[in-house]
A and B are shown apart, each in its own frame.
Chain A
Amino acid sequence: MLQKTFILIFDVILISVALTLIQTVSPWFSFLLTGLFLFPILRMSGLIRDLDEREKAVDNLSSNIALAIVFLLAMFYTGMGYEIGTDCFISFILIPFAAKAIFSAGLSLSRNQSISIIGRTVGLIFIGFAVLSHGLSVTTAIEIIPGVAILAATELSKRWKYFGLSFLAFIVVATLVYWNNFDRVTMVTVYALFVIPFSFLFVRSFSKE
């Protein structure tokens, strides 16, 4: 009972802080609420099944990894002397949010399931952005190529592990493209959002069940 009271107080404080941040700093902080409460609410309402004990352990581990990534980001931003602004806040929400989701899903699901979910999500996000930005046009057709390549690499690496090397190639390409653009926080955020899932997919495609 005492534990439930503490959780309730903690949740109320979190919601108050998040709402204050949404109002005063950036609407991006709504992701904070989504990230914290979406899945517990879905589980409570019975829409998705509850986590078993190993999945809870993996969930904790992925939270720790996300926290470590936040520390690394903070050190990197301080070292690079970036100005702390809205972009920094966005990166401090989006990057750990993505890392937590990727590591949590990736470590608790089977090899094929995790490659499918993460690879397809990243590929479809690429395609979605291209379609939403340019509608149905030639530019879209060109811009969806990376997304299609990611989807193809995803499906192939499930069957043949050596296709996982294509994720390493994506990391190399992203690094070459972004290498000289790390002067802005937004670029670091975008780069991290490429590299985290691709690194995970690369490692996972070579791992056994």
Chain B
Amino acid sequence: MKNRLREFRFKNDEITQESLAELVGVSRQTIIAIEKGRFNPSVKLALKIARVLRCRAEDLFIIEEGD
């Protein structure tokens, strides 16, 4: 699964990983892992992140062929 977390962070006043983590209630390491594609968040967390970044979850996370 691809994600555009980094892009949307920068579109939202360059919100830091630390701030985003705090706003959605996870650790900064979790945001880093999601951003690097090492961890796929649950629907709940994906929706929380999308709400903070003012976008739709499907714009943020893109399912790839073969996923």
The answer to whether A117 has its CB under 8 Å from any CB of chain B is no
Interface residues of A in 31-62 (CB under 8 A from B): 52-55, 57
Q: Are A57 and B39 in contact (CB under 8 A)?
A: yes
Q: Are B30 and A55 in contact (CB under 8 A)?
A: yes
In the assembled complex, which residues on chain B have CB atoms less than 8 Å from the CB atom of A54? 26-27, 29-30, 33-34, 39, 41
Q: Which of B25, B27, B42 contacts A108 (CB 8 A)?
A: B27
User: How big is chain A's contact interface, by range?
Assistant: under 10
Nearest A-chain residue to B21, judged by Cβ: A52
- Shortest Cβ distance from residue B46 to the other chain A in the assembled complex, whole angstroms: 11
The answer to whether A16 has its CB under 8 Å from any CB of chain B is no
Inter-chain CA distance A209–B39, complex, in Å, is 14
Inter-chain CA distance A108–B26, complex, in Å, is 12
Q: Are A53 and B30 in contact (CB under 8 A)?
A: yes
Inter-chain CA distance A53–B48, complex, in Å, is 13
Q: Which of B29, B34, B41, B45 contacts A109 (CB 8 A)?
A: B29
The answer to whether A110 has its CB under 8 Å from any CB of chain B is yes
- Shortest Cβ distance from residue B7 to the other chain A in the assembled complex, whole angstroms: 19
Nearest B-chain residue to A208, judged by Cβ: B36
Nearest B-chain residue to A49, judged by Cβ: B27
The answer to whether B32 has its CB under 8 Å from any CB of chain A is yes
In the assembled complex, which residues on chain B have CB atoms less than 8 Å from the CB atom of A108? 27, 29
In the assembled complex, which residues on chain B have CB atoms less than 8 Å from the CB atom of A110? 28-29, 32
Q: Are B32 and A52 in contact (CB under 8 A)?
A: no
Interface residues of B in 12-61 (CB under 8 A from A): 25-30, 32-34, 39, 41-42, 45
Q: Are B25 and A52 in contact (CB under 8 A)?
A: yes
Inter-chain CA distance A57–B25, complex, in Å, is 16
Nearest B-chain residue to A50, judged by Cβ: B25
Q: Are A53 and B32 in contact (CB under 8 A)?
A: no
- Shortest Cβ distance from residue B62 to the other chain A in the assembled complex, whole angstroms: 20
List 28 contacting pairs A-B, 8 Å CB cutoff, sorted by A: A52-B25, A52-B26, A52-B27, A52-B30, A52-B45, A53-B26, A53-B30, A53-B41, A53-B42, A53-B45, A54-B26, A54-B27, A54-B29, A54-B30, A54-B33, A54-B34, A54-B39, A54-B41, A55-B27, A55-B30, A57-B39, A108-B27, A108-B29, A109-B29, A110-B28, A110-B29, A110-B32, A209-B32
Q: List the 6 closest pairs (A to B, CB-CB), nearest first.
A: A52-B26, A54-B30, A54-B39, A52-B30, A53-B42, A54-B33
Given pairs A53-B30, A54-B27, A110-B29, 15 additional interface contacts (CB within 8 A) = A52-B25, A52-B26, A52-B30, A53-B41, A53-B42, A54-B26, A54-B30, A54-B33, A54-B34, A54-B41, A55-B27, A57-B39, A108-B27, A109-B29, A110-B28
